[in-house]
Amino acid sequence: MLLTELFGQRKFVITGEVGPPKGIQINDLLHSADKHLRCVDAINVTDCQASMMKLGSLATCKALLDHGHTPVFQLVCRDRNRIALQSDLLSAAFFGINNVLLLTGDHTTLGDAPESKPVYDLDSVSLIQAAAALEKGFDLNGNKLEGELPRFAKGAVVSPCSDNVDVQLFKMLAKVNAGADFFQTQTVYEPEKFIDFMEIASGFGVPVMLGMVILKSANMARFMNKNIAGVSIPQGIIDELDNDKDKARSGVTGVNIATRVINECQEFCQGLHIMPMGWDDKVAEVLTGLKNKRNS
């Protein structure tokens, strides 16, 4: 199922996310997805997130597909040149994995192999162009593809609460012009900023899914504020997590914060992307708390 079809049906689309392990043992990941992530429309699989060498996104997507899930194949430009990127897009389509999220990718120096050579032969915008070209039957160099053509729902990312929103909107528009079909945002905790952002972004006419990380502790929130670009968590939310540590640890506070923010933003966006970071079991709780239940 292409996510674009769901957006076309005016469905409020909900996706989750899993991160492949460092190794080839993915029984736990699959078990958790089977148990907890049946409630979402599709599951993103990260591609060596934060430049940490992990099991491949494509292999994990295939395993999820075989378990009856709809995967979203995340693909970053950091580790592959345009030959490998386009080839991996074809491989995904070959497996029937048609939902893709196309990213530039964190720099290699941020991960667990900091001396590795970063590629960036393409960036997120030109990777979207490449996927769009493949759909039309050509590679980036204009060479013709043979036979049946691949189809993609081409996703991209944007940070609505970035400290420089103009920089974000500029790049977002470049992605729209390149052919992006939908956007997932960086996690949002300030509904006002998101709503302001959507006032302009909705003009681009491409569905936007609100990003949400379920906060596990005040320390996690402080860490994200300090280290993760495009994330700003207000002090009030940090205090809320700090005030009752047991409640925070059990996930009650994180789920409450998530549902509250989503409820304030829901009418301004077309979908929701939950990044549970291991808390797969909390996803259903967040969805239960939504004011506007899904119209499926």
* Interface residues toward another protein, by CB under 8 A: 104-107, 109-110, 118, 120, 123-126, 157-159, 162-164, 166-168, 170-171, 174, 186, 227, 229-230
Nearer CB in complex with another protein: 6/157: 157
Give the amino acid at 249.
Answer: R
CB of 285 to another protein, least distance (A): 29
CA 2/CA 152 separation, integer angstroms: 7
CB of 226 to another protein, least distance (A): 9
CB of 208 to another protein, least distance (A): 15
DSSP category for residue 270: S
Nearer CB in complex with another protein: 93/176: 176
CB of 156 to another protein, least distance (A): 10
Nearer CB in complex with another protein: 1/110: 110
CB of 261 to another protein, least distance (A): 20
CB of 249 to another protein, least distance (A): 28
**Coil, strand or helix at 274:** strand
Give the amino acid at 130.
Answer: A
Answer whether 214's CB lies under 8 Å from 254's CB.
yes
Nearer CB in complex with another protein: 86/253: 86
How many angstroms separate the most distant Cα atoms in the chain? 61
Nearer CB in complex with another protein: 162/259: 162
Answer whether 34's CB lies under 8 Å from 67's CB.
yes
DSSP category for residue 39: T
Q: 43 has which bridge partners? A: 16, 71
User: Phi and psi at residue 272, in whole multiples of 5°?
Assistant: -140, 135
User: Six-digit token pair at 161?
Assistant: 């609460």
Nearer CB in complex with another protein: 34/123: 123
Answer whether 230's CB lies under 8 Å from 161's CB.
yes
**Coil, strand or helix at 90:** helix
Nearer CB in complex with another protein: 104/253: 104
CB of 135 to another protein, least distance (A): 20
Answer whether 50's CB lies under 8 Å from 110's CB.
yes
CB of 275 to another protein, least distance (A): 15
Nearer CB in complex with another protein: 158/198: 158
CA 200/CA 38 separation, integer angstroms: 33
User: Six-digit token pair at 39?
Assistant: 């409630």
Answer whether 96's CB lies under 8 Å from 150's CB.
no
CA 189/CA 193 separation, integer angstroms: 9
